[in-house]
Amino acid sequence: MPPRTTTIDAQLAVKIKNRREALGLSIEEAANRAGIGVKTWYRYESAGSIRNDKVKGVCRALGWTVLPLDQDNVNDDSNEYAWIESIDEKHEAWSPVLCEVFGRPAAVSFALGSDFVYDLLSQDLSELQEMSKGSHIGQLGSSWIVGYMPKQFLVRYDYEFIYRLRAALYDLIQRLHYGHDCYAHTVAEELLVRVIRDNAFDAVDEWLKSKEVDACGEDVDGEPISESEDWDEWPEALCGDDDFSMFLDNRRWIPEGDEYHFDRWFIPQFYVK
């Protein structure tokens, strides 16, 4: 059976091109990030079709969670949310605790967002390793994570920091996957929860809206959509608050010794005995 495809009309082709240019990426760079050939990327920007198994790579390259599709773009035999629906308990970042307490969409959003953020951090690491020691993500031009960081510490977001942040993400994934400790104990973990939330919630919300739900709260295949209407409250459950957002205000100065000063980002401070 030939691979299923999604049609790229002129409007979507323009969105792909504009997004690439906004990120400061050449076609060669975008194609490399997506894991495809340059000619293939040219085809996408020329309103060609895209194989559904290539969609995730294109989204990763452009910092999207899903393609910004109109319904007319989707072939009758394809599903633009198929890769979201495929996320289940076999996924490395699947959290049985989030699923049990907040419903399947919560576990899906954590797994989806974790994949996305892990890929973004890996991209930054790949670029930083080619630069001189001391280079930071503010010099990359296309870093996605830099927008979440207080500018006060910009020059400290170097290769070692991004590597450590990615390691903290992996540790958080492992804890939630095995149901051990499900709280964010450090500023770095609060940051990761925030970025996961911001980069997954819209996609999951659109996915849920796309489902045909009957009076019993089940989709057309007879499977429960969610056991809880509060699926999007899991970040607050992990962090207890969103204090980190206050320190994204670049008009503030964070003094040494403050729990949100950079020097304390990886020190357990919250929900500790």
Measured on CA atoms in the order 35, 36, 37, 42, is the torsion positive or negative? negative
Of 183, 156, 163, nearest to 172 (Cα)? 183
User: 237 lies in a domain?
Assistant: yes
Pair 13, 57 in one domain: yes
Q: Answer yes or no: is 273 within a domain.
A: no
Residue 145 shares a structural domain with residue 249: yes
Same-domain check for residues 61 and 129: no
Q: Are residues 15 and 76 in the same domain?
A: yes
State whether 139 and 243 are in the same domain: yes
Domain boundary among 80, 104, 122: 80
Residue 194 domain-assigned (yes or no) = yes
In a domain, 88, yes or no: no
Q: Examine residue 91 and state whether it is found in any structural domain, yes or no.
A: no
End-to-end CA distance of the chain: 57
Residue 192 maps to a domain: yes
37 with 110, same domain? no
Does 101 share its domain with 168? yes
Asked whether residue 36 falls in the same domain as residue 146, the answer is no
Task: Give dist(CA 88, CA 99) in Å, integer.
Answer: 10
| CA separation for the pair 186, 238 (Å, rounded) | 11
Final residue of a domain: which of 30, 50, 80? 80
Among 80, 115, 147, identify where a domain stops.
80
The pLDDT value given to residue 5: 66
In this structure, is residue 259 part of a structural domain?
Answer: yes
pLDDT at 222: 46
pLDDT in tens, the chain (273 residues): 334 567 778 888 889 999 888 888 888 888 888 878 787 888 888 887 787 767 888 888 888 877 887 544 444 444 557 778 888 999 999 999 999 999 999 999 999 899 888 888 887 898 899 999 999 999 986 677 888 889 999 999 999 999 999 999 999 999 999 988 889 999 999 999 999 998 888 888 888 887 754 334 444 444 444 445 789 999 999 998 777 777 777 788 999 999 999 999 999 999 987
Q: Report pLDDT for 148.
A: 86
Same domain, 189 and 245: yes
Give the pLDDT score at 228.
59
Do 102 and 42 fall into the same domain?
Answer: no
Residue 270 domain-assigned?
Answer: no
Query: Which CATH number covers residue 21?
Result: 1.10.260.40
By CB atoms closer than 10 A (0-12, 13-18, 19+), residue 71 is: exposed
Domain holding 65, by residue range, is: 5-80
Query: How many domains, in total, are found in the chain?
Result: 2
The reply to whether 164 and 234 lie within a common domain is: yes
Which residues are bridge partners to 5 per DSSP?
51
The pLDDT score that the predictor gives to residue 106 is 96
User: What is the C-alpha to C-alpha distance for residues 125 and 134, in angstroms, rounded to an integer?
Assistant: 13
What is the value of pTM for the model shown? Answer: 0.74
Do 60 and 110 share a structural domain? no
